Chains A and B, each alone.
Chain A
Amino acid sequence: MTRSNMWIFILKRLVQGIFTVWFIATATFFAMHNVPGDPLLNDRATTEAIRANLQAKYGLDKPVTTQYVIYLGNLVRGDLGISFTQENREVNDIIRDHFPVSAILGILAVIFAAAGGVLWGALTAIYRNRWPDYVIMFLVILGISVPSFVVAAISQLLLVNVNDLFGTTVLPVAGWGTVLHMLVPAMVLGLGTMAYLTRLMRSSMLEIVSSDFVRTAKAKGVPPARIFAKHQLRNAILPVITVLGPSIAAITTGGFVVELVFAIPGLGRYFVQAVQQLDYTVIMGTTVFYGAFLVFMVIVVDVLYGFIDPRVRME
């Protein structure tokens, strides 16, 4: 009964997700059509014949509705088209080559943000109105208000100094390849979200600490550590999990800047470049792909929520 309900729930969310992705795809398509400019216009003079050939190659000579149908058809088959600016490069290849980098960075950042947010938030609640609370909450305000490119630059400066001090590369300042390359960018990327989750966890935990069922646990003689783990944490964490979906969105979209500063070959760079160069297929392809990815992550978070809160599972 519970199990089949769960599957129906997941199925429903998937169908909703497909509609969301379709909407994103359609909106991007028509938005791109209304952007001024011409993808085939470049510095080199092209003859009318070459223009016509290129238009035919990319299907731009057909009416918009036909183009839309072709575009959707390709999308369903998983074909995002060929880049307008990079010769012979399919959008699928770009995503395949660079998305894993962004994904690893993003996942590390989300783990860092969630674990840190829960830990610091719980600490501030336990030490409410004492110095650990004040110190952490001050840092949280910093984390929320300082933009990530500033934090990224400062952390690079720190790394340079630390490496100088030890006369060896403790942690690389930029680049990609090993786990060591990932640590600092992931922290910088997750910092803002971590600060936000800390605040959320703090208020949620404060509510739980004075709740009736925690009093019951005390009256049962349950030791404080067990009360914290079994009664407080699991209930206090629910609001944090709720916002985890949007947080993943915030982190992945925020990844562009951090990838740029740390010279990480992620998808973000291509996304930004494509917009600058009006590379239509890359813009549409990466947007739809990111959209689908985020929709999927939100569904995952919802299912996760069901595992933690039994009241959601049964509905």
Chain B
Amino acid sequence: MNSAPANSKELLLEVKDLAVEFDTYGGTVQAVRGVNFSVEEGKTLAIVGESGCGKSVTVQSMMGLIPMPPGRITSGSARLKGHEILGRTIVNGKEIRGSEIGMIFQDPMTSLNPTMTIGDQIAEPLQVHRGYSYKKAFAEAIRLLEMSKIPEAAKRARQYPFEFSGGMLQRAMIAMAIACKPSILIADEPTTALDVTIQAQILDLLQDLQKETGMAIILITHDLGVVARMADEVAVMYAGKIVEHGMVDDVFYRSAHPYTLGLKDAMPNNDPSLQHELKPIEGSPPDLFSPPQGCGYTARCPYAMQICSKQQGENTYLTEHHFSRCWLHNSASPNKPDQLYFKEGA
């Protein structure tokens, strides 16, 4: 890799300028409009944002999971360990899905094949990628279920998805995704469909497995509580673009984009000392059939200035790893709201 990161750890995945469109009867939807991010080995990147902001499309386009047509990757690159993976799923003669990148989905109830046993489904990637015999793969599937803390794994492996609860199914999904020891696990809203106590267990499991295997995690979520618990880095997405990116403490305690602030104000807090009145973000996200010329958040932003609707602000780096894409950070901005974090000395 030519651009040596400041951090000593190697960049595992580097996504640059990714843009995805969908052709629909109503016109072309620009779902993702130039997204950049990178993932380091063994770290967790959370991508947050409300429904329809392009989080899922971003990762699904990398995995070749969006149907094309109507989907279309219009620009960008995604390099895994230096190899381009965008628009292809086979790198150096090897299928990367399931072997290099594992993925789990939002609804475990519908994401597993109802007519195949859990064990067979977990064994499948091992048979496909590793050439394991069925017997060996099934034995490994049982071990993986144990690793995912499913009791009576040997018996459970022979059962079908309808005999599992939602939380158990998500554990099985995780066992399946990590079967071939991928370097990245993409978790697309892994706890959204589960109840709160189960959510916590699933997140614990993901953290434990990350410690054991050293895999990186890309976590897609709209739940800031999940982010605070899991993430090393956070990318906040809005209307198909990343508007703020930084280490988890930067984004939470030194929020620099009005949208991040809006998200935080809309999040309930259990700590009585921090309790505040919940403030929803008024309005709705822009129509991505004809995305606004300027910043997508202008219409909902309490600090919007005239330039915001005309031109998108540039990424302003507040520290080496923390940027906000907002005109407020421009040196010419007359307004520096107290609620937002600004570069020292700015």
| Residues of the B chain whose Cβ atoms lie less than 8 Å from the Cβ of A213 | 110-114
B110 A221 Cβ-Cβ under 8 A: no
A235 contacts B115, CB within 8 Å?
A: yes
Contact residues in A for B116 (Cβ distance below 8 Å): 230-231
Q: How far is the CB of A225 from chain B (nearest CB, A)?
A: 11
B160 in contact (CB, < 8 A): yes
The stretch of A71-79, A242-250, A256-264, A306-314 in contact with B is A306-314
Question: If the complex has contacts A311-B160, A311-B162, are A219 and B112 also in contact, measured as CB distance less than 8 A?
Answer: no
Residues of B within 8 A of A220 (CB): 97-98, 124-125, 128, 176-177
Partner of A221, one of B67, B98, B111, B112: B98
| Interface contact B113-A219, CB-CB below 8 Å | no
Q: Chain A residues near B163 (CB, 8 Å)? A: 314
Are A219 and B128 within 8 A (Cβ)? Answer: no
Least CB distance from A163 to B in Å reads 46
Say yes or no for A47: interface residue by CB 8 A criterion.
no
CB-defined contacts of A309 to chain B, threshold 8 Å: 114-115
Task: Confirm or deny: A301 has a beta carbon within 8 angstroms of a beta carbon on chain B.
Answer: no
Contact of A4 with B by CB under 8 A: no
A219 contacts B98, C-beta separation under 8 Å: yes
Closest chain B residue to A311 by CB distance? B162
How far is A31 from B162 in the complex, measured between Cα atoms in Å?
A: 48
A220 to B103, CA, bound (A): 8
How many angstroms from the CA of A252 to the CA of B105 in the assembled complex? 47
Is B181 an interface position by the 8 A CB rule? Answer: no
Which B residue's beta carbon lies closest to that of A310? B160
Q: Let me know if B128 and A223 touch, CB within 8 A.
A: yes
Interface residues of A in 209-267 (CB under 8 A from B): 210-213, 215-223, 226, 230-231, 234-235
Least CB separation from A230: chain B residue: B116
Instruction: Tally chain A residues at the interface, Cβ within 8 Å.
Output: 23
Per-position contact with A for B157-180: 1 when CB-CB < 8 Å, else 0?
000101100000000010011000
Residue numbers in B under 8 Å from A311 (CB-CB): 114, 160, 162
Determine if B160 and A222 form an interchain contact, defined as CB atoms under 8 angstroms apart: no
Contact of B65 with A by CB under 8 A: yes
Q: Are A235 and B113 in contact (CB under 8 A)?
A: yes
Give which listed residue, B97, B105, B162, contacts A212 with CB less than 8 A.
B105
- Given A211-B110, A221-B89, are A216 and B105 also a contact pair (CB < 8 Å)? yes
A221→B113 contact, CB < 8 A: no
A208–chain B nearest beta-carbon distance, Å: 10
Are the C-beta atoms of B96 and A221 separated by less than 8 Å?
Answer: yes
Q: Mark B92-132, 1 if CB is under 8 A from A, else 0.
A: 00011111001101010011111110000000110011000
Known pairs A222-B128, A310-B160; A217 contacts B113 (CB<8 A): yes
Known: A226-B128, A309-B115, A310-B160. A221 touches B107 (CB 8 A): no
B63 within 8 A of A: yes
Give A311 to B112 CA distance when docked, in angstroms.
14
How far, in whole Å, are A125 and B11 apart by their CA atoms in the complex?
Answer: 41
Look across to chain A and name the residue whose beta carbon is closest to the beta carbon of B126.
A220
CB proximity of B11 to chain A, nearest CB, Å = 23
B64 in contact (CB, < 8 A): yes
Q: Is the CB of B128 within 8 A of A234?
A: no
Residue of A213, A216, A220 with highest tally of chain B CB at under 10 A: A220
Complex interface: chain B residues within 8 A of A235 (CB): 113-115
Chain B residue contacts of A226, Cβ below 8 A: 128
Q: Which residue of B lies closest to A223 (CB)?
A: B128
**How far is B161's CA from A314's CA once the two chains are assembled, in angstroms?**
13
Q: How far is the CA of A308 from the CA of B160 in the complex (A)?
A: 12
What are 25 A-B interface contacts by the 8 Å CB criterion? A212-B105, A213-B110, A213-B112, A213-B113, A213-B114, A215-B111, A216-B103, A217-B113, A218-B65, A218-B97, A219-B103, A220-B97, A220-B176, A220-B177, A221-B95, A221-B99, A222-B124, A223-B128, A230-B124, A231-B113, A235-B113, A309-B114, A309-B115, A310-B160, A311-B160
Sample of 15 further A-B pairs with CB below 8 A, known A216-B173, A220-B176: A212-B107, A213-B111, A213-B112, A213-B113, A215-B65, A218-B97, A219-B105, A221-B98, A231-B113, A234-B115, A235-B114, A308-B115, A310-B115, A310-B162, A314-B163
